[in-house]
Amino acid sequence: MIILDGKKTSNDIKNEIAAEVEKIKKRGEKVPHLAAIIVGNDGASLTYVNAKVKSCKRVGFESSLYRLPNTVSELELLDKIEELNQNDDIDGFIVQLPLPPQIDTQKVLNAVDPDKDVDGFHPTNFGKMALDMTSFIPATPFGILELLERYDIPTKGKHTVVIGRSYIVGRPMSILMGRSGFPGNSTVTLTHEFTKNITQITSQADIIIIAVGIPDFLKAEMIKDDAVIIDVGITRVPNDEAEKGYVIKGDVDFDNVSKRASYITPVPGGVGPMTVSMLLKNTLLATERHKKRAKERIKANQ
């Protein structure tokens, strides 16, 4: 059994991005700029956004953080998004989820300029991804693809079972694993809370990607020997014996499943660190695209 080390892989990617930023600086060009909007004081969201800011600093990106109160109106948030859309200095930005109940999340995500949507949630980017066109791939699925590629895990002709159908992980993964190319060319089964006889399906899977938010959902008896297990789940489970009063659990019963798997991601330290790195990679891609378009505009005006 081989651990898919997201922490190490994420560090490798950050080093590669930092090297690219150095080249950009030597050419005297503008360095990538990633911004984030966060609403309220959700602990997990704050931790995640702070990790992004720290990572930006490490690779040499500019970063901006816009904090809005929990009471902010939908209109005020949309105004802030439009301000960032119009700011040519910002290459990409994200709106940290979840948002408070007074705000329509889909309306907010739709308001982000698709060319700056480095989270890959805009319908334009999602549609392009589904059509195998160049687009921003959502950061978590992008990170999973990168892990599969860097560990050279065969996906062609394999049966991939995706558990969970969120637009952030499950649905995009089901599309990406079935696309032409590597990682891809899998036969994909998308399962969810209403899937009957799920063990019958998972026990036939060569690759299982799970994102349901239910700790220890996937048990050893649900998989076949040598399956590849990608655990996207991350839940704080109360535990009086733990120093923080909780332990972090994935969707996979790691101790038992790891005895049968060929490859498995740990929680924490698996998919999580990859998400931030791929967000940085998307921002670098956004910077390159904006640069290319600016050159094309100058050429067209000459």
Active site residues: 52, 96, 119
Both tokens assigned to 298: 């100058």
Is 166 annotated as belonging to a binding site? Answer: yes
Is 58 annotated as belonging to a binding site? Answer: no
Residue 28 CB burial class (10 angstroms; 0-12, 13-18, ≥19): exposed
Q: Which of 27, 139, 147 is nearest to 93 (CA)?
A: 139
Q: Which of 61, 56, 57, 100 is nearest to 77 (CA)?
A: 100
Within 10 A of 301 (CB to CB), how many other CB atoms are there? 6
Is 234 annotated as belonging to a binding site? Answer: yes
**3-class DSSP state of 52:** helix
Dump strand ranges (E) for 177-269.
187-191, 207-210, 228-231, 235-238, 246-249, 263-264
Is 203 annotated as belonging to a binding site? Answer: no
Amino acid at 150: R
Contact between 106 and 125 under an 8 Å Cβ cutoff? The reply is: no
Dump strand ranges (E) for 30-177.
33-39, 62-68, 92-95, 159-163
Annotated binding site for NADP(+): 164-166, 234
